[in-house]
Amino acid sequence: MNFNFEYKGFDLQLQFAGAFGHKLFNGPRSSYNLFADNSSYRANYDLWTPENPNAKDPRPIYDDTRNVIGYQDRWLENGNYLRLKQAALGYNLPKSLLKNVFHNIRIYVNGQNLLTFTSYTGLDPEFLNSNIWMRGYDGGAFPNPKGVTFGAQISF
């Protein structure tokens, strides 16, 4: 989805991308939250007890492999996201400042991957997985980098 705006020499370009209606398997979380040795609890651990039967996480059982099984559906998460892939803000200098030396001068700032709206708890819901059999599996790939560039376009 692209948006372009222009007003009094300023221009703003926004490009959004997203994906909706799918689940992702959070591989790193399935590895970090095994609870087999009674030592790897995260801060928001919602453990099952008889008083808390609707908990998100199972009851930890020390030295037991029932919580260590990696491929459980509790690691499936909503994969929906909306990302601002690119935002560019520019300004065209007025012709009165350019004299007859330049045809146009535009200064700009450009940002990539600045905002992501998602409930996914992994590093990035837009991870790259080239294996066709592992498309929805997040193996902890490095997230898409954020970047900001400044520049000028000069026409003679």
Task: Please give the model's pTM, rounded to 2 decimal places.
Answer: 0.79
Read off the pLDDT of residues 3-37 as tens digits, 9 standing for 90 and up: 999 999 999 999 999 999 999 998 888 777 766 66
Under the banding of pLDDT at 50, 70 and 90, the label for residue 59 is confident
Q: Which of 22, 42, 31, 15 is nearest to 135 (CA)?
A: 22
| Residue 148 confidence (pLDDT) above 90 | yes
What separation, in Å, do the N-terminal and C-terminal C-alpha atoms of the chain show?
A: 33
Q: At 26, which helix (H) or strand (E)?
A: strand 23-26
Cα–Cα distance measured from residue 55 to residue 51, given in angstroms and rounded to the nearest whole number: 10
Per residue in 37-53, pLDDT (tens digit) is 666 566 677 888 899 99
pLDDT at 135: 86
Per-residue pLDDT at 65 exceeds 70? no
Task: Quote the DSSP letter at residue 37.
Answer: S
